[in-house]
Structure 1
Amino acid sequence: MADEATDGAEYGGDGRRLRWLAHNQARRRVIIDAAIRVLERSEPGEDIQVQLIAEEAGLARTVLYRHFHDRVDLDLAVQAKICEDLGAKLLAKLSYDGRPIEIIRAVIEGVVNWAVEHPTLFWFIELELPGPGPHPLSEAIERIAEQIEALMNTVVDYHGVELSAADRAGLDPWVFALIGAVFSGVKRWQSRMEAVPTAKGFADLLADSIWLQIKGLADMRGITVPDVPLSELLSVMEKSER
């Protein structure tokens, strides 16, 4: 709604212009969804022609390019949509209802299982495309990392521990690095001729590794990571504040 209001002000409330913008956005979504369907039917690394995407969308190739500056613009938009959907799935697993280790395991299993179910989409979002601005996958990882950092801060606040300024400042890039390492590890695991260990075995390995890092850093700072759902910590904290 805010975007529409802005557009209306910019173009003097031109109704035709607003209708064109809405039509353009709808057509872009159709094209992006068509590109994702084509990717799902393709193999990782396969060269996908724009003509295939246009045909899947029921459009002429020339019409498709009216809605995107070039192929890179199209590919970035497709990456952004895939990462948005994946990010939403993973963020849904970051619930305060689970124990810390369960939350970590759920997120990592989500990444591994999604990569197995959608190998070409996983390959595609890892591609480094030219252009300004952050990479769509980096933005998705950042959103996940921010939520994990919030969960960690809940544990820190529960114990009443004052982290140093350096620890506070370093928490964000450290969590980002952890999540980024998961994606890099899955990429390497999936690229091998034989997927060994199994998806579950590899997810467990990653989860155990990350859990040891988190627990180890917490122990060094006198913080005991509780083996209870984080919702219970919040309940205790709320009662103590009354």
Structure 2
Amino acid sequence: MTTSPALSGYEERWREHNDERRTQVLEATIELIEQSPPDVAVSVADIARRAGLAKSVVYRQFGGKEELERRARSLIVEDFAQVLDASLDLEAGSLRDILTRTVAAVADWMLEHPRLNTFVRSGPTFEGDGALDAVSELKNRMIVVGHELIDSVAQLVGADPAPFQTVPFAVITMVEATLYGWVRGVAPNSTREEIVADLADYVWCVIDGRARMGGVVLQPDEPFAELLVGLTAGRSSDGRAE
């Protein structure tokens, strides 16, 4: 097994210097996109000026504007994904609480970052293969998370996860599309509280209906951790939920 040679002190400092400059440029890019009017393009010269660097330095750090934009989308999506992961904490609150705060997190991000919301839909992330825009990449990522959560809970309570196979895709695409239409004014004229409550209820109805198909009865307002304990205790001797 071969190992990479250790970096010298100079090489390590140079790498850290480049990382700092790369971060400066990405932060400047995101700031300018967020602050610019929708019909105003952000140039590399604008980004360099905001970052306090020469334009040539920006091009040395990134292969071109396309790479810079893709890396900026990656950073935006990663930050937003962390917000969603925190919202999906199954140990904090009831199922209704979890659904409501997750829908609210999406609604609030779209409201607070309208230009970034548009930007991440304009192309892929740096890690993507280019077939999907950054929002679609994030939705696919959250669908995988949804399947993992469902499989874990189903195994814990002895339920069949099969009825839930399409649930993550259905609810994630419904919530994202509805909120995107809502923030653009093409969906029903609801307040933020109304649209969040409605979507959380719709998601609950889908989950509840599918759970009942598998013989599991859920209580939306019971702390989810306690709900799982009760469902686990209610498993029959053959390992299936009673």
Same fold, TM-score > 0.5, yes or no: yes
Deviations 1:61-98 (A, max 9, x none): 12111111111110111111111111111211112222
CA RMSD of aligned residues (A): 3.0
Q: Is the 8 A contact 2:45 2:55 kept in 1?
A: yes
**1:54–1:64 CA contact under 8 A, matched in 2:** yes
Contact 1:31–1:53 (8 Å) recurs in 2: yes
Alignment of 1:118 onto 2:116:
no
Change (3 A) 1:174 1:236: closer
Write the distance in 2 (CA, Å) between the matches of 1:36 and 1:99: 35
> Does residue 68 of structure 1 match 2:62?
yes
CA contact (8 A) 2:38 2:115 kept: yes
Aligned CA distance change for structure 1 residues 44 and 194 (closer, same or farther; 3 Å): farther
What is the rounded CA distance, in whole Å, between the counterparts of 2:7 and 2:104 in structure 1? 49
Paired with 2:118 and 2:19, the residues of 1 have a C-alpha distance of: 26
Which residue number corresponds to residue 57 of structure 1?
51
TM-score normalised by length of structure 2: 0.80
Report the residue type matching 1:99 in the other structure: S
User: Does the C-alpha gap of structure 1 residues 179 and 191 become closer, same or farther in structure 2, counting only changes over 3 Å?
Assistant: same
Within a 5 Å distance, the mapping from 1:127-166 to structure 2 comes to: 127-129=122-124, 133=129, 135-153=133-151, 155-164=153-162
Distance in 2 between the 1:130 and 1:231 partners?
A: 35
Q: Is the 8 A contact 2:28 2:51 kept in 1?
A: yes
Confirm whether residue 204 of structure 1 aligns to residue 197 of structure 2: yes
Spell out structure 1 runs of 4+ moving beyond 6 A.
Answer: 237-241
Distance (whole Å) between structure 1 residues aligned to residue 119 and residue 143 of structure 2 = 21
Higher relative contact order (CA 8 A, sep 6+): 1
Q: TM-score normalized by structure 1? A: 0.80
In structure 1, the residue matched to 2:18 is 24
| Structure 1 residue matching 2:60: 3-state secondary structure | coil
Return the offset for 1:208.
1.8
Uncovered stretches (5+) of structure 2, i.e. residues with no partner: 236-242
Shift of the 201–160 alpha-carbon distance from structure 1 to 2, 3 Å rule, reads same
1:73-112 pair list within 5 angstroms: 73-95=67-89, 96-112=91-107
Residue 3 of structure 1: aligned partner: none
Q: Quote the offset at 1:111 in angstroms.
A: 0.4
Query: 1:209-220 maps to which residues of 2 (within 5 A)?
Result: 209-220=202-213
Name the aligned partner's letter for residue 87 of structure 2: K
Higher helix share: 1
Q: What are the ranges of 5 or more consecutive residues in structure 1 without an aligned counterpart?
A: 1-5
The share of aligned pairs that are identical, in percent, is 28
The alpha-carbon deviation at position 24 of structure 1 amounts to: 1.8
Amino acid at match of 2:122: L
